[in-house]
């Protein structure tokens, strides 16, 4: 009953925000998995939807389906290639089946903050990655920021050895599997929509995510506490299919891409603030947040960084150098 009620509530929410598309308009279905408010991706998707529907009225009509109501991230890219959805923004960790180059974004302790991620993505190397899946039918349009990842479990995590023997949910990325194994933990790949239930029922003991996801999904309510490790990042690729983009008239495509760029610049500039507010909201709601001493943090670096060697051939040493140089 609870699941059915939740599904109904979510579908009502999704429908409420949706513009009724008119005959002759190009319908753009945008499926994503997070909540819509107090979340960098959710806010950006809603802003994109309202701007497209206002400024391209009569030409294009966007419908955003948040909260995994249409597809989860495991299904959305296949659905896109079949033309069932036109836009998505999965995290960069979710492209394993299509390219190994994005592994650069999952390597622990490569980027010191989101400004460094932004600098790398704006560089020639970062921009080239947008086109890296064209042969597989996918076109990257923009990077959207979320933020730095934190670790949580059903017991305090201060030293990496505290994670030893615990089961952790990870996104579908072999780098993240290796990272958890490096700490002696058991990683389990799982869809985002299933994480809360899995933590609550003890199917897994812990997870890693950004403040906005830990707050938005209420993970803090079913964990002992959150440790501020800032050990990695979650960022997104706004992606479409090559076929769909090619099908647009040039002026329609240009207008759409211009709006997307403006939304991207505006919301990426706010992503760190949105995450900081989510951190504060977790504390205000009674969640426990733990900070590490410099010595403790160094122990996490020492435990996780050996993972780089396993994946350097996938990403290329030059790419790894470029990523590190973006730290300034
Ligand atoms: C996750 O699966 O944890 C994230 O990729 C979800 C998201 O879109 O932020």
User: What is d(CA 223, CA 218) in angstroms, rounded to the nearest whole number?
Assistant: 9
Q: What is the pLDDT of residues 20-46, one digit of tens each?
A: 799 999 999 999 999 999 999 999 999
Per the model's pLDDT, the better-predicted residue between 74 and 114 turns out to be 114
Helices (H) and strands (E) in the chain, counts: 14, 10
Q: Is the pLDDT of residue 256 over 50?
A: yes
How many CA atoms, within 13 angstroms, populate the side-chain half-sphere of residue 254? Answer: 3
What's the gap in Å between 250 CA and the centre of ligand 1?
33
The interface predicted TM-score of the complex, written ipTM, equals 0.99
How many CA atoms, within 13 angstroms, populate the side-chain half-sphere of residue 249? Answer: 7
Q: Which atom of ligand 1 is nearest to the CA of 207?
A: 3
pLDDT of res. 3: 52
pLDDT of res. 18: 56
Q: Which atom of ligand 1 is nearest to the CA of 89?
A: 8
User: What is d(CA 276, CA 85) in angstroms, rounded to the nearest whole number?
Assistant: 32
Residue 181's nearest CA partner among 173, 213, 96, 323 is 173
Q: Whose CA is nearest to atom 2 of ligand 1?
A: 192
Q: Whose CA is nearest to atom 3 of ligand 1?
A: 192
Which of 8-12, 133-137, 254-258 is the least confident region? 8-12
**% of residues, the chain, pLDDT over 90:** 93
**How is residue 310 annotated by DSSP?**
H
Spatial contact of 71 and 229, defined as CB atoms under 8 Å apart: no
pLDDT of res. 15: 46
Q: Whose CA is nearest to atom 1 of ligand 1?
A: 192
Spatial contact of 66 and 36, defined as CB atoms under 8 Å apart: yes
Residue 26 pairs in a beta bridge with 60
pLDDT of res. 14: 46
Q: What angle do CA 96, 100, 101 make, to 5 degrees?
A: 125
Please give the C-alpha separations between residue 320 and each of 39, 94, 132, 173, 308, in angstroms, as whole numbers.
Answer: 29, 19, 16, 18, 9
What's the gap in Å between 30 CA and the centre of ligand 1?
15
pLDDT of res. 244: 98
Q: Is the pLDDT of residue 72 over 60?
A: yes
Q: Which atom of ligand 1 is nearest to the CA of 33?
A: 8
Spatial contact of 121 and 143, defined as CB atoms under 8 Å apart: yes
User: What is d(CA 307, CA 228) in angstroms, rounded to the nearest whole number?
Assistant: 20
User: What is d(CA 274, CA 41) in angstroms, rounded to the nearest whole number?
Assistant: 10
Q: Is the pLDDT of residue 104 over 50?
A: yes
Task: State the pairing for strand pair 225-228/289-291.
Answer: parallel
pLDDT of res. 12: 44
Q: Is the pLDDT of residue 237 over 50?
A: yes
> DSSP string spanning 144-169?
EEEEEEEEEESS--SSGGGGTT-EEE
What's the gap in Å between 24 CA and the centre of ligand 1?
34
Q: What is the pLDDT of residues 152-168, one digit of tens each?
A: 999 999 999 999 999 99
Q: Is the pLDDT of residue 7 over 60?
A: no
What's the gap in Å between 148 CA and the centre of ligand 1?
12
How many CA atoms, within 13 angstroms, populate the side-chain half-sphere of residue 230? Answer: 15
User: What is d(CA 222, CA 120) in angstroms, rounded to the nearest whole number?
Assistant: 35
Pocket lining for ligand 1, CB < 6 angstroms: 33-34, 91, 146, 171, 192, 209, 213, 234
pLDDT of res. 19: 55
What's the gap in Å between 44 CA and the centre of ligand 1?
15
State which of 209, 212, 219, 238 you would mutate to test the pocket of ligand 1, scoring each by most atoms of that ligand within 8 A of its C-beta: 209
Q: What is the pLDDT of residues 108-138, one digit of tens each?
A: 999 999 999 999 999 999 999 999 999 999 9
Q: Is the pLDDT of residue 16 over 50?
A: no
Residues 6 or more apart whose Cβ sits within 8 Å of residue 241 = 80, 81, 83, 86, 137, 138, 139
Q: Which atom of ligand 1 is nearest to the CA of 32?
A: 8
Q: Whose CA is nearest to atom 5 of ligand 1?
A: 91
pLDDT of res. 259: 98
What's the gap in Å between 91 CA and the centre of ligand 1?
6
Instruction: Name the average pLDDT for the chain.
Output: 94
Q: What is the pLDDT of residues 44-61, one digit of tens each?
A: 999 999 999 999 999 999
What's the gap in Å between 248 CA and the centre of ligand 1?
29
Spatial contact of 43 and 36, defined as CB atoms under 8 Å apart: yes
* pTM for this predicted structure: 0.93
């Amino acid at each position: 009953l609870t699941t059915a009620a939740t599904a109904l509530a979510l579908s009502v929410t999704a429908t409420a925000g949706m513009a009724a598309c008119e005959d002759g308009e190009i319908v753009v279905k945008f499926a994503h998995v997070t909540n819509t408010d107090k979340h960098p991706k959710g806010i950006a998707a809603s802003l994109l939807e309202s701007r497209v529907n206002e400024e391209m009225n009569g030409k294009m009509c966007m419908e955003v389906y948040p909260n995994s109501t249409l597809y989860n991230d495991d299904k959305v890219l296949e659905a896109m290639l079949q033309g069932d959805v036109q836009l998505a923004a999965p995290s960069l960790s979710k492209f394993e089946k299509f390219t190994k180059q994005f592994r650069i974004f999952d390597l622990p302790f490569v980027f010191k903050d989101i400004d460094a991620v932004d600098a790398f993505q704006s560089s020639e190397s970062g921009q080239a990655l947008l086109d890296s899946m064209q042969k597989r039918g996918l076109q990257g349009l923009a990077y959207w920021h979320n933020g730095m990842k934190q670790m949580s479990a059903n017991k305090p995590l201060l030293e990496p050895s505290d994670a030893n023997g615990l089961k952790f949910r990870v996104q579908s990325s072999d780098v993240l599997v290796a990272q958890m194994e490096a700490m002696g933990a058991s990683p389990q790949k799982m869809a985002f929509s299933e994480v809360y239930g899995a933590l609550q029922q003890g199917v897994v003991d812990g997870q890693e995510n950004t403040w906005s996801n830990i707050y938005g999904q209420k993970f803090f309510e079913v964990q002992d506490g959150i440790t501020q490790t800032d050990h990695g990042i979650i960022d997104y690729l706004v992606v479409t299919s090559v076929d769909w983009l090619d099908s647009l008239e040039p002026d329609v495509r240009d207008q759409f891409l211009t709006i997307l760029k403006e939304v991207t610049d505006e919301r990426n500039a706010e992503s760190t603030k949105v995450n900081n507010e989510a951190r504060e909201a977790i504390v205000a709601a009674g969640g426990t947040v733990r900070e590490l001493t410099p010595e403790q943090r160094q122990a996490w670096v020492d435990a996780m960084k050996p993972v780089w060697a396993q994946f350097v051939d996938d990403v290329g040493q030059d790419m790894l150098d470029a990523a590190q140089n973006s730290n300034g």
